A and B are shown apart, each in its own frame.
Chain A
Amino acid sequence: MNVVIVGCGRVGSVVAEAFDSAGHKVIVIDRSTAAFDRLPGEFKGDAVRGDGTDEDVLRKAGAEGADVFLALTEGDNRNVMSAQLAIEALHANRVVAKINDPLRAAAYAELGLATICRTDLMSNAILGYIGLPTTGSRGVVAPIGVHAGGEHHHERDGLRSGVRSAPVGLGREPISAPSPEPDSGREA
Chain B
Amino acid sequence: MFVLVVGGGKVGYYLTKELIQSGHEVVLMEKDRARADQVADEIGSIVIPHDGCEGKYLGEAGANRADIVAAVTGDDEDNLVICQMAKHHFDVPRTIARVNNPKNEELFKHLGVDELISPTRMILGSIEQDIPVHELLHLAGLGESELELIEAHLDAGSPAIGRSTGDLQMPEGCALFAVIRDGVAMPLRSDMRLREDDKVIAIGREDCETLLKEQLIGASATEG
A111→B107 contact, CB < 8 A: no
Cβ of A40 within 8 Å of any chain B Cβ, yes or no, is no
**A75 CB-CB contact with B under 8 Å:** yes
**Contacts known (A103-B55, A107-B88, A159-B84); A54 close to B110, Cβ less than 8 A:** no
B112 near A159 with CB under 8 A, answer yes
Q: Which of B76-119 contact A (CB under 8 A)?
A: 76-78, 80-81, 84-85, 87-89, 101, 103-104, 107, 110-112
Q: A77-B77, A101-B53, A104-B55 are in contact. List 6 more A-B contacts (CB 8 A).
A: A80-B84, A84-B107, A101-B55, A108-B84, A111-B84, A158-B112
Q: Which of A77, A153, A156 contacts B75 (CB 8 A)?
A: A77
**CB-CB under 8 A for A81 and B76, given A54-B101, A103-B56:** yes
B interface residues, how many (CB within 8 angstroms): 22
Q: Mark A37-61, 1 if CB is under 8 A from B, else 0.
A: 0000000000000000111100000
Chain B residues with CB below 8 A from A80, complex form: 77, 80-81, 84
Cβ-defined contact, A107 with B85, below 8 A:
yes
Task: Give the residue name and chain of the B residue nearest to A85 (CB).
Answer: B107
Cβ contacts under 8 Å, A149 to chain B: 110
Q: How large is the interface on A (under 10, 10 to 19, 20 to 34, 35 or more residues)?
A: 20 to 34
Q: Please tell me if B196 contacts chain A, counting CB pairs below 8 Å.
A: no
Q: Is A148 an interface residue when CB atoms closer than 8 A count as contact?
A: yes
Residue of B nearest to A53 (CB): B77
The residues of B that contact A104 with a CB separation of less than 8 Å are: 53-55, 81, 85
Cβ proximity bits A104-115 to B, threshold 8 Å, 1 near / 0 not: 100110110000
A59 → chain B, closest Cβ, in Å? Answer: 11
A158 CA / B111 CA spacing, docked (Å): 8
B84 contacts which chain A residues (CB < 8 A)? 80, 107-108, 111, 159
Give every chain A residue within 8 A of B75 (Cβ-Cβ): 77
Are B111 and A55 touching (Cβ within 8 A)?
no
In the assembled complex, 7 residue pairs joining A and B whose CB atoms fall closer than 8 Å, in A order, are A55-B103, A89-B107, A101-B56, A104-B85, A111-B84, A156-B112, A159-B111
Contact between B55 and A88, CB atoms less than 8 A apart: no
A20 contacts chain B at the CB level, 8 A cutoff: no
CB distance from B73 to the nearest CB of A (A): 10
Complex Cα distance A156/B75, Å? 23
Interface centre among B55, B81, B107 (most CB of A within 10 A): B81
Taken residue by residue from 184 to 200, chain B's Cβ proximity to chain A (1 for < 8 Å, 0 otherwise) reads as: 00000000000000000
Residues on B with beta carbons closer than 8 Å to the beta carbon of A108: 84
Determine whether the beta carbon of B110 is less than 8 Å from that of A88. yes
- The 9 A-B residue pairs with the shortest CB-CB distance, nearest first, are A103-B55, A81-B77, A77-B77, A77-B81, A107-B89, A78-B77, A77-B78, A53-B77, A80-B81
For A111, what are the chain B residues with a Cβ–Cβ distance below 8 Å? 84, 88
A67 at the interface (CB under 8 A from B): no
A56 touches B103 (CB 8 A): yes
- Provide the bound-state CA to CA distance between A158 and B87, in Å: 12
